[in-house]
Amino acid sequence: MEYRELGTTGLQVSRMCFGALTIGPLQRNLSVAEGGRLIRQALEAGINFIDTAELYRTYPYIKEALKGWSRPEQVVIATKSYAYTAEGMVQSLEKARREMDLDVIPIFMLHEQESEYTIKGHWPALEVLFEAKAKGIVRTIGISTHHVAGVLGACKYPEIEVVSPLINLTGIGIQGGTRDEMLAAIQQAYSMGKGIYAMKPLGGGHLISRRRDAFSFLLELPTVHSIAVGMKSTEELERNISFFEGTPLPDEDFVQPERKLHFDEWCIACGQCVQACPNKALHIESERVIVDTDKCVFCGYCGAACPEFAVKVI
Ligand code: SF4
Ligand code: SF4
């Protein structure tokens, strides 16, 4: 596995980052033992970078994977929080440290920022991270974003050292601009020394049949240091690692089940999932939630927002 320095952060990360969303309760819902084992296999194969978030509820999987691991200081874990107040961020930070059993969080990010203005609006939370960084509890501060203006917003603040933007071959899921506009924003952030790790390389599953081209597109971008790939089985992990290490992907014999959103019959049409969707892929019609499948990237954020636990990615 090849490694790169993540911008000017001083962190060395593998080109493939293990995206932990997929194994957790919002998606495949593997047991902690199974999910922990899969992350451990990734670590054994040389992946030293794990992407998670408070929202994903995957901290226990990471704790499980790291139990007894001989080189924990070399594992770079990036997590994210929606906290915008100081109190909220103190709680998020402590939860991450406690539930992953980590003294130091290598990368702590504001989750899903839309622009320089939302970053500014999170300043009380960021100040908690600045203080945590000064104390050595957090090493690096960043943001994740689906928005072109989110990446450009990060460029306004030298304190934001890492950006995780949504970028993929066809641009599916990018908000507020085209794929090329996102690439230009990433170029700007990269040239300022920010660490860049891409999310949704396969557009949440839409590009699975074109994954060779989709991965190649990102691997050939000099502005992307690492690529977060969500995986839920050993087979997927091994094949993706082989491809990242230079072995061609045999598309034909690797059939990936199609993904979809499932709404249970007890949905009360409250609309909270509609509000939570960053891609505006949901609306309500005749008291039923309707999905625009061209816009959905199967992030599972709608499921996290549902008070009735009535929606999940399957
Ligand atoms: S949030 Fe849950 S209950 Fe409300 S509309 Fe969405 S799926 Fe239905
Ligand atoms: S509908 Fe749900 S899974 Fe699809 S993009 Fe929106 S929040 Fe993500």
Q: What is the pLDDT of residues 3-15, one digit of tens each?
A: 999 999 999 999 9
Distance 261 CA to ligand 1 centre (A): 12
Take residue 303 and report the two structure tokens written for it.
Answer: 């499921």
Do 56 and 9 sit in the same domain of this protein?
yes
Do 97 and 189 sit in the same domain of this protein?
yes
Do 192 and 91 sit in the same domain of this protein?
yes
- Could you identify the residue written with the tokens 């949901």? 282
> Measured from the CB, is residue 203 less than 6 Å from ligand 2?
no
- Please give the average per-residue pLDDT across 40-60, as a whole number: 97
**Using CA atoms, how far apart are residues 100 and 110, in angstroms rounded to an integer?**
18
On the question of pLDDT at 255 being above 90, the answer is no
Residue 224: burial class (beta carbons within 10 Å; 0-12, 13-18, 19+): buried
Take residue 36 and report the two structure tokens written for it.
Answer: 């922990």
Q: How many residues are there in the chain? A: 314
Domain that holds residue 280: 261-313
- Please give the average per-residue pLDDT across 145-172, as a whole number: 97
Ligand 2 pocket test target in 279, 292, 295, 312 with most atoms within 8 Å of CB = 279
Looking at 50-59, 240-249, 250-259, which range is the least confident one? Answer: 250-259
Do 69 and 211 sit in the same domain of this protein?
yes
Do 279 and 142 sit in the same domain of this protein?
no
- Please give the average per-residue pLDDT across 179-202, as a whole number: 97
On the question of pLDDT at 252 being above 70, the answer is no
Take residue 193 and report the two structure tokens written for it.
Answer: 């020394």
Ligand 2 pocket test target in 146, 280, 297, 313 with most atoms within 8 Å of CB = 297
On the question of pLDDT at 163 being above 80, the answer is yes
CB 208 within 8 A of CB 202: yes
Do 224 and 269 sit in the same domain of this protein?
no
Give the ligand 1 atom nearest the CA of 311.
Answer: 7
pLDDT value of position 168? 96
- Please give the average per-residue pLDDT across 91-96, as a whole number: 98
Q: Which of 201, 218, 253 is the last residue of a domain?
A: 253
DSSP secondary structure, 29-42, as one string: ---HHHHHHHHHHH
Do 152 and 301 sit in the same domain of this protein?
no
Number of domains comprising the chain: 2
pLDDT value of position 34? 97
Do 102 and 64 sit in the same domain of this protein?
yes
Looking at 123-127, 129-133, 272-276, 299-303, which range is the least confident one? Answer: 299-303
Q: Helix, strand, or coil here: 3?
A: strand
Q: Which of 206, 237, 253 is the last residue of a domain?
A: 253
Cβ atoms within 10 Å of 291's Cβ, excluding its own: 17
**CATH code: domain of residue 308:** 3.30.70.20
Do 285 and 187 sit in the same domain of this protein?
no
User: Looking at the whole model, is its pTM more than 0.85?
Assistant: yes
Do 265 and 308 sit in the same domain of this protein?
yes
Do 268 and 244 sit in the same domain of this protein?
no
Categorize the per-residue pLDDT at 312 as very low, low, confident or very high, splitting at 50, 70 and 90: confident
Cβ atoms within 10 Å of 74's Cβ, excluding its own: 12
> Measured from the CB, is residue 268 less than 6 Å from ligand 1?
yes
**CATH code: domain of residue 160:** 3.20.20.100
Do 178 and 135 sit in the same domain of this protein?
yes
Ligand 1 pocket test target in 261, 264, 265, 270 with most atoms within 8 Å of CB = 270
> Measured from the CB, is residue 270 less than 6 Å from ligand 1?
yes
Give the ligand 2 atom nearest the CA of 299.
Answer: 8
Q: Which residues of 263-278 are buried (b: 16+ CB within 10 A; e: fewer)?
A: beeebeeeeebbebbb
Average pLDDT over the chain, rounded to an integer:
93
